């Protein structure tokens, strides 16, 4: 693998997204995300150099978030390359210029023996690329080497995310390349640490629930006391994901608020209140 970080519109503490080239006989560039002109110029120069030396088959995406697809349509046009991604990625990205010409799904081979795993939870269209022979993987936003990963419903789902982390842990990989930060050695331990961190945070959210219904904002402020206040809106989204997980395990209850939120998961309404399950 060849890994190169580029500045991207990601969330702190991360400032860059890794572009990764995987494969030998057939090589693919994964997650080009640069959006400012200087970084795009650097990305294009790097990609052209790689193509001239070793060839480049196309561009692949782990999921639709802007800090992963920010340069995909532009780079595909500049280099005349096809884009491969999960079937819903183009629509979820809301970028009319992004055209996915190769749809990837669970069990597909991206190139050589790099296999596709569908790993939703952070995003419904999230996929990882795993080379079983070497124990290497490109894991996108399943984990990060710096900071953590936000689970933001309704596209994000905490229970699914935790299950997919456990699935990756069972692969006993040697190296995992995240989207943000350096490649991770001993990935199984890193995946387990992420699971433990999530469950510890969920225990805080559960402890913040009382007999009196409270807003997500109040519960988040009690569950994330160490955060700067300007980060609380993000914490509220993560808190809601934990509340949904607790609700699914009958450890929390929701009380309908004034908003008329409909859908398959009505408890995600922004005005709803939450209480303990006693």
User: CB atoms < 10 A from the CB of 81, how many?
Assistant: 20
The answer to whether residue 47 is domain-embedded is yes
The answer to whether residue 78 is domain-embedded is yes
Predicted confidence at residue 261, as pLDDT, reads 63
Same domain, yes or no: 133 and 231: no
Mean pLDDT of 78-90: 97
Q: Whole-prediction pTM value? A: 0.94
Same domain, yes or no: 126 and 21: yes
pLDDT in tens, 177-188: 999 999 999 999
Mean pLDDT of 207-233: 90
The answer to whether residue 203 is domain-embedded is no
d(CA 53, CA 188): 34
Query: Residue 232: exposed, middle, or buried by beta-carbon count in 10 A (0-12, 13-18, 19+)?
Result: middle
The answer to whether residue 24 is domain-embedded is yes
Predicted confidence at residue 176, as pLDDT, reads 98
Does the pLDDT at position 240 exceed 80? yes
d(CA 145, CA 143): 7
Same domain, yes or no: 53 and 125: yes
The answer to whether residue 164 is domain-embedded is no
Same domain, yes or no: 138 and 234: no
d(CA 221, CA 259): 22
The answer to whether residue 155 is domain-embedded is no
Does the pLDDT at position 278 exceed 90? no
What separation in angstroms does the CA of 21 have from each of 32, 57, 81, 233?
10, 10, 14, 35
Residues spanned by the domain of 223: 209-276
pLDDT in tens, 6-44: 999 998 889 999 999 999 889 999 999 999 999 999 999
Number of domains in the chain: 2
Predicted confidence at residue 266, as pLDDT, reads 87
Same domain, yes or no: 48 and 128: yes
Find out whether 148 and 141 touch, Cβ atoms under 8 Å: no
Mean pLDDT of 204-231: 91
- Quick one: pLDDT band at residue 94, thresholds 50, 70, 90? confident
Same domain, yes or no: 21 and 119: yes
- Find the CATH number of the domain harbouring 135: 3.60.15.10
**Terminal C-alpha separation, the chain:** 52
Same domain, yes or no: 23 and 138: yes
SS3 8: coil
The answer to whether residue 93 is domain-embedded is yes
Same domain, yes or no: 8 and 141: yes
The answer to whether residue 57 is domain-embedded is yes
């Amino acid at each position: 693998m060849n890994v190169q970080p580029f500045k991207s519109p990601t969330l702190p503490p991360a400032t860059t997204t890794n572009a990764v080239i995987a494969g030998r006989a057939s090589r693919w560039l994964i997650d080009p995300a640069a959006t400012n002109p200087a970084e795009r110029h650097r990305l294009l120069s790097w990609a052209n150099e790689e193509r001239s030396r070793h060839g480049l088959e196309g561009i692949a995406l782990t999921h639709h978030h802007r800090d992963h697809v920010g340069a995909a349509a532009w780079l595909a046009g500049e280099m005349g390359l096809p884009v491969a991604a999960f079937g819903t990625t183009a629509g979820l990205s809301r970028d009319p210029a992004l055209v996915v010409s190769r749809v990837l799904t669970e069990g597909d081979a991206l190139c050589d023996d790099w296999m596709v795993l569908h790993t939703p939870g952070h995003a419904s269209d999230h996929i990882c690329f795993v080379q079983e022979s070497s124990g290497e993987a490109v894991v996108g936003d399943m984990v990060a080497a710096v900071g953590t990963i936000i689970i933001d419903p309704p596209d994000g789902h905490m229970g699914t995310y935790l299950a997919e982390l456990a699935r990756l842990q069972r692969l006993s990989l040697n190296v995992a390349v995240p989207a943000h930060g350096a490649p991770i050695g001993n990935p199984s331990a890193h995946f387990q640490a992420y699971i433990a961190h999530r469950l510890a945070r969920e225990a805080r959210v559960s402890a913040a629930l009382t007999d009196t219904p409270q807003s997500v904002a109040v519960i988040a402020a009690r569950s994330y006391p160490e955060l700067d206040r300007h980060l609380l809106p993000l914490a509220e989204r993560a808190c809601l994901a934990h509340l949904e997980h607790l609700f699914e395990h009958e450890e929390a209850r929701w009380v309908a608020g004034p908003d008329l939120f409909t859908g398959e998961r009505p408890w995600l309404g922004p005005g709803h209140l939450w209480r303990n399950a006693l």
